[in-house]
Amino acid sequence: MSKLSIWQSRWMALSHDIIWVPLALLLAFWFRFNLGLIPSPYISKFWLIVGIALPVHVVSFYYFGLYRGIWRFASVPDLIRILKAVAVGALITFLILFIWQRLEGAPRSVIVLYPFLLIAGLAFPRLLYRWMKDHHLGFAVRQGKRALIVGAGRAGELLVRDLLKDEQYQPVAFLDDNRKKHGLDIHGVRVITGTDFFEEQVEQLNIEIVLLAMPTGSAALMRKLVDQSAMLKVPCRTLPSLPELTDGKVEVGTLRDIQIEDLLGREEIVLDDVQIQGFLKNKSVLVTGAGGSIGSELCRQILLYHPEKLIMLDHGEYNLYQIKGEIGRNKVVSVVALLGDIRDESRMKWVFETYQPQIVFNAAAYKHVPLVEENPAEGIKTNVLGTCKLADIAVENGCEKFVQVSTDKAVNPANVMGATKRAAEIYCQNLNARTSRTAFITTRFGNVLGSAGSVVPLFQTQIQQGGPVTVTHPEITRYFMTIPEAVRLILQAGSMGMGGEIFVLDMGEPIKIVDLAEQMICLSGMEPEKDIKIEFTGLRPGEKLFEELFHKAESLMGTTHPKIMLSASREVDWDEMQSLLEKLRVSCVEREVEKLRVLLQELVPEFVQNSTLDSPVKPDGAIVH
């Protein structure tokens, strides 16, 4: 809206309000005399009051901001401003009249009636105008897409309120499974039935788009609605989940396309923010692997708890540059970005001596199973030797807590990557028993959706290229969790841990990868096998059909948080472990791959090479065919 049109609308609003001052006063006199003629002696008194009231009310109207609002969006705050402006204006008007003429000739009933009539005269036209605009009475027929809103709760109410101001959509009806809401109107839009009749209502009402207003809705219900929408060829959009709605605003602009995370997600995780705040506030926090999927999200969420300093360390220049550019301008917390590799002992010692981190989150690791399988020496140097050295340096520098980020692949590992992560777990647990300076806490969870190298970005690329989508085995399953969800639980576990624990994050039910592929194809607006083929390529070296979250010898216990379980630690002979680590160091330098596998199996007895590794592996990953 141009400045000229804004001033025109304000002058029109002011003119309307000025007219209502004498009109409300005239109505008050008229009611005083039982809707009959006003006696002539009172006419002069009427004009006297009008002469005083007009300038007084003009000032009070402006003072209380009656013209800051827009009639189109008139609401309770506007009504409150009107009440204040009329009350103050009427009080000053009659106070002046009292001082001047002791209210002689002014009927007491007029003094009482006038403010109420003026409030009604100012408020009713504004609310009527908004109602007519919202319901398009007396205006052009709405041309937006016919929208069915699923969810008649608070989010649905806020969404439809904003939709009625927007020309893009035409809200037709609500669906909600709460029978008590059926038949009710929300801003003029009827709640007609539940989601069991979704397909029937979409067809009967000629729906052109489905809008899901269920920030706390179950993933199962969302999958059902998305599948039905896809079958009916009707696009479907959703409001973000509660964690995404950080500012709490629900409006048309927050609607987005359905993501695979929406279909695989679970109930919202409630954190003990007070406990996490006590864990991180005013602390110096180091995050290794800060440029990775988990590391970068750790940095984002740690900032919310106001540490004194956040030190971000990564060996990848571009990844570190990205996260520094995103959060490095923070004005409250000192943010430091450091290039470095946890395998570089002198660099790590310098980092600890210079910045004195009190809390360490070690998210630095090689995690891609086939690549680590083909490059075992590099995987061991980072995941085992680098982590062990980092843990030692943390103890030397008096760190309070060291949180090791692990994986479900460390349980009964069938590949080098899983075995290296299990070795790191064992070392941290046993180092904890040997020191009182640093508490070592391990967090173990499964795959995270959308992380670098995960299956989701791979499937997205394959779908964009027209397929086929490649799945290794029709029965393969994995646990999945969103990156923000995993990091929230890592922070919670870190705040709970006293030292030596392995916290196992509740991953829900495992998901078949082929089902994931089919869902992603449907989300892209295509049909599996018809538009996009799914091909099974066979298990890769070191790959298991299913993952486990804890070893059968580990006793699993509950904790104070319903989504976090506690696994018992396993003691090992410390001197023997140090001897094995030294042998690993030598074999890594010599690239003795077969010896590395044997040593790793001594360190992690439950490590059994997967039979899918059909070809022997030479040093540096060369496959012999």
Active site residue 533: no
Residues for the chain: how many in total?
625
Question: 66 in a domain, yes or no?
Answer: yes
CA 320, 322, 323 angle in degrees (round to 5)?
70
Dihedral (Cα; 33, 34, 37, 38), 10-degree rounding = 20
Average pLDDT over residues 19-24: 87
Residues 320 and 443 placed together within one structural domain of the fold:
yes
Q: Which of 367, 381, 409, 563 is catalytic?
A: 409
Same domain assignment for residues 365 and 487: yes
Q: What digits encode the pLDDT tens for the residues 212-230?
A: 888 777 777 888 888 888 8
User: In terms of Cα–Cα distance, which of 232, 260, 231, 265 is closest to 519?
Assistant: 260
- Residue among 298, 277, 286 nearest 355 (CA): 286
DSSP string, 316-363: -HHHHHHHHHHHTT-SSSEEEEEE--TT-HHHHHHHHHHH--SEEEE-
Nearest to 599 by CA among 614, 586, 585, 584: 584
Q: What gap in Å lies between CA 379 and CA 382, rounded to an integer?
A: 5
pLDDT of amino acid 616: 36
Does residue 498 surpass a pLDDT of 90?
no
Higher pLDDT, 218 or 619: 218
d(CA 85, CA 59): 9
Alpha-helical segments (H) within 362-512: 369-374, 376-380, 387-396, 416-434, 455-464, 483-496
Q: Which of the four pLDDT bands, split at 50, 70 and 90, describes residue 613?
A: very low
The pLDDT, as a whole number, for residue 579 is: 92
pLDDT on residue 120: 86
Q: Which is more confidently placed, 232 or 446?
A: 232
CA dist., res. 11 & res. 524, Å (int): 51
Radius of gyration for the chain, computed over Cα atoms and rounded to the nearest angstrom: 34
Q: Which of 225, 258, 291 is the last residue of a domain?
A: 258
Question: Is residue 268 domain-resident?
Answer: no
Cα 313 from Cα 293, distance rounded (Å): 13
Residue 256 sits at φ, ψ, to 5 deg, of -145, 170
pLDDT surpasses 70 at 142 = no
Q: Which residues contact 399 (CB under 8 A, 6 or more apart)?
A: 352, 357, 358, 359, 360, 437, 438
User: What one-character DSSP code corresponds to residue 243?
Assistant: T
- Please report where in the chains the tokens 């809008």 appear, as a residue: 211
Q: What is the CATH number of the domain that holds 413?
A: 3.40.50.720
- 564-594 tens-digit pLDDT: 666 666 678 888 999 999 999 999 998 888 8
Rounded alpha-carbon distances, angstroms, from residue 234 to 148, 190, 250, 353, 446: 11, 21, 23, 60, 34
- For residues 360 and 416, membership in a common domain is answered with yes
Residue 83 has pLDDT above 80, yes or no: yes
Which distant-in-sequence residues (6+ apart) come within 8 Å of 82 by Cβ? 64, 66, 119, 122, 123
CA distances from 375 to 224, 378, 458, 623 (A): 43, 6, 21, 11
Domain endpoint, select from 86, 107, 135:
135
Please tell me which residue, 311 or 55, carries the higher pLDDT value: 311
Which residue type occupies 264? L
Nearest in space to 31 (alpha carbons), one of 124, 101, 112, 90: 112
What is the tally of structural domains in the chain?
3
Asked if 363 and 298 count as a contact pair (C-beta separation under 8 A), the reply is yes
Would 99 be classed as within a structural domain?
A: yes
599 & 570 share domain: yes
Average confidence score pLDDT of the chain: 80
Distance of alpha carbon 534 from alpha carbon 514, whole angstroms: 8
Calpha distance 291→318 (Å, rounded): 8
**Does 511 reside within a domain?**
no
Tokens of 36: 């009959």
Whether 71 has a pLDDT exceeding 80, the answer reads no
Residue 513 in any domain: the answer is no
Same domain, 177 and 99: no
Residues 175 and 127 in one domain: no
- pLDDT (mean) for 148-175: 83
Per-residue confidence (pLDDT) for residue 241, from 0 to 100: 59
Alpha helices, H only, 102-218: 108-135, 154-163, 198-204
Which of 143, 146, 90 lies closest to 121 in space, CA to CA? 90
Is residue 218 domain-shared with residue 313, that is, in the same domain?
no
Cα separation, 602 vs 423, whole angstroms:
10
Three-class DSSP category at 343: coil
CB 161 within 8 Å of CB 142: no
Residues 333-386: tens digit of each pLDDT:
899 999 999 999 999 999 999 999 999 999 999 988 889 999 999 999 999 999
pTM exceeds cut of 0.75: no
Asked if residue 243 has pLDDT above 70, the reply is no
pLDDT band for position 608 (cuts 50, 70, 90): confident
pLDDT for the residue numbered 621? 35
- Do 427 and 563 fall into the same domain? yes
Locus of tokens 């409001």: 239
pLDDT band, very low/low/confident/very high, at 599 (cuts 50, 70, 90): very high
Contacts of 552 (CB under 8 A, 6+ apart): none
582 occurs within a structural domain? yes
- The residue ranking higher by pLDDT, 585 or 31, is 585
Terminal-to-terminal C-alpha distance of the chain = 71
- Judged against a pLDDT cut of 60, whether residue 137 lies above it is answered with no
Transcribe 550-576 into DSSP letters. S-TTSPEEE-SSTTEEEE------HHH
For residue 332, CA distances in Å to 12, 151, 274, 309 come to 46, 39, 19, 9
Which of residues 542 and 284 earns the better pLDDT score?
284
pLDDT band at 105 (very low <50, low <70, confident <90, very high): low
> Which residues sit opposite 477 in a β-bridge?
512
What pLDDT shows up at residue 21? 86
Structure token digits, residue 621: 């990953």
pLDDT at res. 233: 84
pLDDT bracket for residue 551 (50, 70, 90)? low
- Please determine, for residue 247, whether its predicted confidence score (pLDDT) is greater than 50: no
Give the residue with greater pLDDT, 405 vs 94. Answer: 405
| Domain assignment of residue 608, yes or no | no
| 438 and 490, same domain (yes or no) | yes
Same domain, 308 and 426: yes
| Token representation of residue 90 | 């009427």
Nearest to 375 by CA among 619, 117, 193: 619
Residues 495 and 596 in one domain: yes
Q: Which pLDDT band holds residue 625 (cuts at 50, 70, 90)?
A: very low
Task: List the single range of 125-129, 186-190, 239-243, 309-313 with lowest mean pLDDT.
Answer: 239-243
Is 465 part of a structural domain of the chain? Answer: no
Q: What dihedral angle (degrees, nearest 10) is formed by the CA atoms of 585, 587, 590, 591?
A: -110
- Give residue 620's pLDDT: 37
Cα(532)–Cα(463) distance, integer angstroms = 7
Q: What is the mean pLDDT of residues 503-527?
A: 76
504: which DSSP letter?
A: E
- 407, 486: one domain: yes
Of 95, 110, 135, which marks where a domain is finished? 135
pLDDT of 462 > 70? The answer is yes
Structural domain of residue 115, as residue ranges? 3-135
Using CA atoms, how far residue 275 sits from 269, 309, 469, 489, 493, in Å, is 15, 19, 44, 12, 10
352 SS3 class = helix
